[in-house]
Each structure stands twice: as structure tokens, then as C-alpha cells.
Amino acid sequence: MTVTKKKTKKPKKPKKPNLRKLVKKAFSLWSECARLQHDNKCEMCGIKNKEINSKGKPTVLNVHHACPRENKALRFDLHNAIVLCVNDHKYGKNSAHKGSIFFYDWFKKYRPSDYEYIFQHKDDPPVETIEQVQNAIIELELTREILLNKVDNAQGF
């Protein structure tokens, strides 16, 4: 006869939040908010998410950091977010990654206040501790709520 021992569970310690996971969550919220803010369209060419592009494929939208995400002061800031189709983001000759001189000229022309904002805030304290990233998440979740309400109102709900 085998006696099965009842396993006694140790009381769980409250888990410390994982910074990497929080950062990932914050980036994903940042990206979602930017898309909502810009109507799910590429800011440069106006093509919509999933709309069939010139190559016959559904459009994929990316959200680009005007000032690279390595600048931790601005990495979750929506002033620093630009919604672009993959062509205007990475592959086109005037894209953010390949033709940065044209791209920055465009940004300065079409989003002048955000351009100024980035220069004013580039040396702000970094958002890097668990608590700071958690606060950024709370702020982005609120922004998302507001943006979603706006979408609902625009659709007459």
C-alpha cells in the first residue's frame, strides 16, 4: 500500500514586480495609445492599419520613437510617438530609419510642438525604476481610457 503524502503548500510570498515585464507592458500601452491618437493611420502617408498597400499586402503599423527609446526620459511619452506604416518606418528611402534627414524635416513641419517638446524634455530624469514604470503604466492606462471614450463618442455610442 502506498501512502500519498499530502503536500503542504508554503505560503506564497508576494511577488516582486518584474521590471522587464513592466517595461514591456508600458511600451505596448504607449504604442496602443499612439495608434488611438492618430486614428490607426500612418501619419506620413495616411494608409490605415490592415489596408492593402501598393505591394498588395495588408498594412502593418509601427510606432516609432522620434527620440530613441534609449532616452529613458521620453521612452513612454506620447509626444515622442509617431505612428508609421512599415514602409515609412523602416523600408522606404525617406523612412525614419533610412532617410532620417527627410524624416526629421517632416516631423518638425507636421508636429512642431512635439518637436519642441522633445528638445525641452530630453534631459528630464529617466523613467527607469519599478515604481516609475508603474506610474507611467497608470498614466497610459488613463490616457487609453480617455482615447477610447473619444472613439466611442465619435461613433455615436
Task: State the residues that interact with Zn ion by CB under 5 A.
Answer: 42, 44-45, 85, 88
User: CB 31 → Zn ion: shortest distance, Å?
Assistant: 16
Distance CA 145, CA 143 (A): 5
User: CB 86 → Zn ion: shortest distance, Å?
Assistant: 8
Distance CA 100, CA 68 (A): 12
For Zn ion, the closer CB: 94 or 134: 94
Taking Cα atoms as reference points, which of 52, 77, 56 lies closest to residue 66?
A: 77
For Zn ion, the closer CB: 38 or 79: 38
The answer to whether the CB of 24 falls within 8 A of the CB of 43 is: no
For Zn ion, the closer CB: 77 or 88: 88
For Zn ion, the closer CB: 87 or 143: 87
The DSSP secondary-structure symbol of 6 reads P
User: CB 108 → Zn ion: shortest distance, Å?
Assistant: 18
C-alpha pair distances (Å), 147 with each of 20, 26, 94, 124, 144: 26, 16, 30, 26, 5
User: CB 126 → Zn ion: shortest distance, Å?
Assistant: 31
Block residue for cell numbers 510642438: 113
